[in-house]
Chain A
Amino acid sequence: MVDKVEFELVSPAKLLYAGAVDMVVVPGSEGDFGVLPGHAPLISLVRPGVINIHDEGRVEQRIFVAGGFAEVTQTRCTVLADEAMPVTDIDRAKAEGRLQAARVRLGEADSEADKAAAWHEIGVAEALISAAG
């Protein structure tokens, strides 16, 4: 277990991934960061994007997250995602529908909070589409 990092990905709905892997690359709010064993302890926000899980010398799995939080210790990396799904499960048409809905919502938003929520939703939908493409 010396050269592996315990990676866990949880969303409110379920535990998506738990296991020891070589490296994970997390889309942090200040830029992507790779987590290897012995990483300095870190707590970071996560922006909408794709988490790459590297194991056995290749990208073992790619999982889309719609933002959240990541906690890294020397031996462990935990990502709390607002929403998450494997990249292979993304439905491009659905994602584009979501982008449309979010744009409509932005047009109708009248308060600052609504607007911020709509912008966030647009960001998620755009990341979703680019992850699918």
Chain B
Amino acid sequence: MASLKDLRNRIASVKSTQKITAAMKMVAASKLKRAQDQAEAARPYAERMERMLGSLAAAVGSSAGAPKLLSGTGADRVHLLVVVTADRGLCGAFNGQVVRAARNLVHKLKADGKEVKILCVGRKGRDGLKRDFAGMILDTLDGLTRRGVQVEAADAIAARVSAMFADGDFDVCNVLYNRFKSAISQEFTSQQIIPFPAPLAPAAEDGARAAGPAAIYEFEPEEEAILKDILPRNLGIQLYRALLESYAGEQGARMAAMDNATRNAGEMIGRLTLNYNRTRQASITREMIEIVSGAEAV
């Protein structure tokens, strides 16, 4: 049985852990609010960008002159996976979820005979993948979200990805991340960004478009020039969005995890305190018995 002193030390240490987890929870909660607002503010742009690109893609079609970012290289051999995770742990299953899904995807692609390359954004993704796929990881970018998510960070990744694409290093690029659903739930998402996935059905929201999306738009300057501008931009925006969603998700996951930890620590303190009081009472009783029986013996 643990001595009174041991129990006292134990309680003190659990209490200080609880203080830390409670503080981390509050930090995550305040960051979450900001991250969530930012993620939600960025959604309209990304959605409209996709819509506009959809109309453009429909107009250009898969003609020979279409830029490669749109039509692809024609091959489907080398896949690049951009795995977006957090830099830090202590956020429940957040990183594990992405890493597990990425691992499954790599195995599946390899089983299909494809070559896989991985670009990790966030340190935890590399930590989780390097044991199995060390040779495939091209690089790890971390520290991007230390001061919140910035457009520049996403643009830098986009520039890098498109440079690799221009060099013919891969044919298809997917970005894997956790989409922010609510403060307590994130949804794993795999989004193809290169080549741009053509919309399955033209959005028939206004009459003009439903009539025939391919022919009706005028372009200023011509389609190719616009596409040349808009495609890299779109790449940056989609990555920016992934970073924002992932960052908001991370804060949400951390808040939930730390809330749990704080509650568990509270329960543990309760149990230990009960144990401590019982032990103390037992030792008092024992001492009294010793005194009484000593007195009787005299």
Contact = CB atoms under 8 A, between A and B. Distances in A.
Interface of A: 8, 10-15, 28-30, 33, 40-45, 69, 71, 73-76, 78, 80, 82
Contacts of B49: 69, 80
A41 B218 contact: yes
A28 B219 CA distance: 11
A63 to B, nearest CB: 15
Interface of B: 38, 41-42, 44-45, 48-49, 51-52, 55-56, 151, 206, 208-209, 216-221, 225-226, 229-230, 233, 237, 240
A12 B237 contact: yes
Nearest to A39: B218
Nearest to A76: B206
A42 B208 CA distance: 12
Given A74-B206, A82-B233, 20 more contacts: A12-B240, A13-B42, A14-B42, A15-B41, A15-B45, A30-B220, A30-B221, A41-B218, A43-B217, A43-B218, A43-B220, A43-B226, A44-B220, A44-B226, A45-B225, A45-B226, A71-B51, A74-B208, A75-B208, A78-B48
Contact of B219 (A12, A33, A44, A74): A44
A73 B208 contact: yes
6 contacts: A15-B45, A42-B218, A43-B55, A43-B56, A71-B48, A71-B55
Q: Is the interface of B mostly helix, strand, loop or mixed?
A: helix
B52 A69 contact: yes
B48 A45 contact: no
B247 to A, nearest CB: 15
A54 B219 CA distance: 24
Nearest to B40: A14
A78 B41 contact: no
A10 B206 contact: no
B240 A78 contact: no
Contacts of B206: 73-76
A42 B217 contact: yes
B52 to A, nearest CB: 5
Contacts of A30: 220-221
Contacts of A29: 220-221
Contacts of A28: 220
A-B pairs with lowest CB-CB distance, top 5: A44-B220, A14-B41, A10-B45, A42-B218, A71-B52
B148 to A, nearest CB: 12
B219 A73 contact: no
Contacts of A71: 48, 51-52, 55
B64 to A, nearest CB: 21
Contacts of B229: 45, 69
B45 to A, nearest CB: 5
Contacts of A45: 220-221, 225-226, 229
Contacts of A12: 42, 45, 151, 237, 240
A73 B219 CA distance: 12
Given A11-B45, A15-B44, A41 B208 contact: yes
Contacts of B226: 43-45, 69
Contacts of A82: 233
Nearest to B228: A45
A74 B218 CA distance: 12
A48 B151 CA distance: 19
A48 B231 CA distance: 19
Contact of B217 (A41, A69, A78, A80): A41
